[in-house]
Chains A and B, each alone.
Chain A
Amino acid sequence: MDHTVHTAHAAPTVHTRRNQRSLSRAERRRFVGAVLGLKRSGAYDDFVRRHIDHYVSDGDDRLRAAHMTPTFLPWHRRFLLDFERALRRVDGGVTVPYWDWTKDRTPAASLWGEDLMGGTGRRGDRRVTTGPFARGNGWIVKEGVTDGDFLTRDLGRPADPLDLPTRQDVAWATAEKVYDVSPWDSTSPRGFRNRLEGWTSDIGSGRWRNHNRVHRWVGGHMLGGASVNDPVFWLHHAFVDLLWTRWQRQHPDAAPFLPERPPALGEPQYRRIVARHEPMPPWRTTPQDMLSHRGIYRYAE
């Protein structure tokens, strides 16, 4: 079975996404350089805006393609592909690395070094002051929620510490045999998608699981609508994307995406979610198109 991705320009070769911890110093520099190139051209802020525009919550009676929805995974796969293609136009040797947050779990990890993501924010205004994405080094936030034009982080939330998700937390999601279940939103009681996305109705720090918990752990911009301003967004989502691939490998007989057909008129999710063969705004790409990245990229694991 061969699934192809809708692309205007098919990539001539399969490129490899690697764990960020395995990048050489030169590779780290090239990745950062390509991100800075996109920032300078204005393209980076288009990605920030696009992510904000597609954040629709499931209490709204509107179509939601990106979050709290079965297409959380294929939507972000396409979003990352667009970003990676843009990066590779700047530097054809670059791919999006992934951050395995079950292993690199502290602000002391090399991920947060001055030559990659830079460190946490300072006390008070949470401004990032080290690394290439510090305001003082030229990274200016233009599409923010606040009037500050600097990137913010609050790694690990020291005022009320919480841990990154663990391997067991990931297993709690990947053990699910079904991709997603009704009501296909943040209250879906089972299913791989919602358990990986990480919505619960719990209280206390147990409410955040997996993907959501990582956004909470990084804090600052990553917590809000303008999370894409923090380039760690891409490394986080590359790992989420890899976990989707692993889930497929673990459950080869499961339906790879649900729902198969759109909810009918009169059903609560009518016109609010995207079914397997429907386009995901803003693209014409369908979840079906995104079921496999074979022939496009692979993960070095």
Chain B
Amino acid sequence: MLFSRTVPRMSRRRLIAVAGTAVLGAAGAFRGLSGRYFPPDEGQPGAPGGPAFDETYRGRRIQGEPTTGGAAHGPHGWRVTVDGKPLGVMRRADGSYLSMVDHYGSYGTPLAAARGAVDELGEGQALGGLLH
């Protein structure tokens, strides 16, 4: 049966994902030293979004702060920028975040979403202003 084969396959995939995360968690501590890149989008959905941030990530300045009141098109509860250009960030029902650059990943925090956007922007590409 197709379906009965599917279930263990999914479970296995999930196990691999969890194992991978544990490795990333350990390796991530050394990111600053090794300079290697690890996917930053392994957050904890449900977190309130974390504190405001201002850091350089892969040569890009990423900044974010919570805002009061949400606009219909734009930063819903957070103002996030990459090199000073606004990055549209949206919240998912499970508490995670999406960005305009990556609609299909789910990031635990706006910081993780900003780093994920930098990863996907590609070299030499700046944000162009479209939010949502």
Contacts and interface: CB of A to CB of B under 8 A. Distances in A.
Say whether A and B bind each other.
Answer: yes
B18 to A, nearest CB: 7
Contact of B92 (A57, A205, A223): A57
B93 A207 contact: no
B132 interface: yes
Nearest to B3: A175
11 contacts: A55-B132, A57-B92, A60-B91, A171-B3, A175-B2, A175-B6, A201-B96, A201-B106, A205-B13, A213-B104, A227-B103
Interface stretch (A18-26, A84-92, A141-149, A283-291): A141-149
Contact of B104 (A124, A144, A215): A215
B58 interface: no
A125 B20 contact: no
B34 interface: no
A62 B93 CA distance: 12
Given A60-B76, A203-B42, A224-B100, A144 B93 contact: no
A152 interface: yes
A215 B103 contact: yes
B66 to A, nearest CB: 14
B70 interface: yes
Contact of B17 (A59, A175, A204): A204
Interface centre among B45, B98, B104, B122 (most CB of A within 10 A): B104
Contacts of A146: 101, 121, 125-128
A126 B122 contact: yes
Nearest to A213: B104
Interface in B71-125: 72, 76, 88, 90-96, 98-106, 120-125
Given A124-B123, A208-B104, A172 B6 contact: yes
Prevailing SS type, chain A contact patch:
loop
A284 B91 CA distance: 28
Contact of A204 (B10, B21, B91): B21
B93 A183 contact: yes
A160 interface: yes
Given A55-B132, A124-B124, A168-B5, A185 B100 contact: no
Contacts of B52: none
Nearest to B24: A204
A171 B6 contact: yes
Contacts of A56: 90, 132
Nearest to A152: B122
Contacts of A168: 2, 5-6, 9
A206 interface: yes
A24 to B, nearest CB: 33
B102 A224 contact: yes
Nearest to B96: A201
A190 B104 CA distance: 19
Contacts of A227: 103
Contact of A143 (B93, B96, B104, B130): B130
Nearest to A226: B130
Given A60-B70, A226-B130, 7 more contacts: A145-B100, A172-B3, A175-B2, A204-B17, A206-B10, A207-B106, A223-B101
B92 to A, nearest CB: 5
B131 to A, nearest CB: 8
A59 B95 contact: yes
A185 B106 CA distance: 14
Nearest to A62: B72
Contacts of B120: 219, 223-224
A52 B130 contact: yes
A227 B100 CA distance: 10
Given A172-B3, A208-B104, A215-B104, A202 B17 contact: yes
A145 B132 CA distance: 9
B105 A144 contact: no
